[in-house]
Amino acid sequence: MRKIIYKYILFIFLSLAVCQSNHPYPPLHLITIPTSGVLPYGNYSLEGLLIDNGGMVPKLSIGISQKLTLGVSWGIQNLIGDNKISFNKDYPEYHFKYRLFDEDMVKPAVVIGFDSQGRGRYREVINQDSSESYFRYQHKSFGYYLVASKNYLLMGNMGVHIGLNKSLESYDDDDINLFIGIDKEINKSISFMMEYDAMLNDNDNEYDYEELTIGKGIGYLNAGFRWLIADNILVELNFNDINRNQKVSQTAHREFKFIYSKKF
């Protein structure tokens, strides 16, 4: 009986060790931070991020080549509810990623990119002393970024991602920012994600943000789960700002995301 139990334990362990996701490409992002994943040539993805107060951020990404991904997104506020629907801007945001180096047994994959889509509301910010103002997102857009990703086989795939970025929303704080994250397969369908965005470019308190308060200067710790419910459909449940960096938040921000991908 004991030998049979040992065999079952060994079988389960080996199954976990070699299990791989059925998804055709690595994640383009974790919860908020970019990775070195790019769409294969001729593929596209449609993403819908459901955010606070009935808002939504739809995003379209297209694999232009095996190394280049382009796309657009558009922030919509109060899409669900009884308040008037509004858009963050009168024009869409855009993003691109270009893979400089592919991953191999030793080197990580390296990507340069740009993303002008921030998170939360896009609002006016006023300097307390000079009354100067400018507009920014509650959570700044990444702007230009460089990220490296390396995958390891550890009871299923585990990806490690580290990068830096320079946001264009730099009027109040123009420092270069750092971020790091991991994604770990639990089985062939479900993955766990965790990331830390240091927000070094958003810890200056000269400005009156009201609801856009920049917080305590300790960065954002985020976590989430990704579920592959079909070969081309992903859903996510994410928890942002677990460490309560933003002064206005009472709990972590709960967000839901769905991703549909297909080849043209």
Q: Which residue has the tokens 């059925």?
A: 22
Split at pLDDT 50, 70, 90, the class of 25 is confident
Nearest-angstrom CA–CA distance, 264 and 156: 30
Token readout for 93 is 């945001």
pLDDT of residue 121: 81
Per residue in 210-261, pLDDT tens?
544 455 667 889 999 999 998 899 999 999 888 877 665 667 788 999 999 9
Nearest-angstrom CA–CA distance, 24 and 169: 34
Please name which of 192, 159, 166, 197 lies closest in space to residue 180, comparing C-alpha atoms. Answer: 197
Tell me what percent of the residues of the chain surpass a pLDDT of 90: 53
Lowest mean per-residue pLDDT among 16-30, 31-45, 173-187: 16-30
- Which residues, other chains included, contact 244 with Cβ-Cβ below 8 Å and sequence gap of 6+? 216, 252
Q: What is the pTM of this model?
A: 0.84
Per residue in 165-219, pLDDT tens?
999 988 878 899 999 999 999 998 999 999 999 989 887 655 555 544 455 667 8
Nearest-angstrom CA–CA distance, 73 and 95: 8
Residue boundaries of the structural domains of the chain: 2-263
- What does pLDDT average to over the chain? 84
pLDDT of residue 1: 53
Q: Is a pLDDT exceeding 80 seen at residue 53?
A: no
CATH class, range 2-263: mainly beta
Nearest-angstrom CA–CA distance, 258 and 262: 14
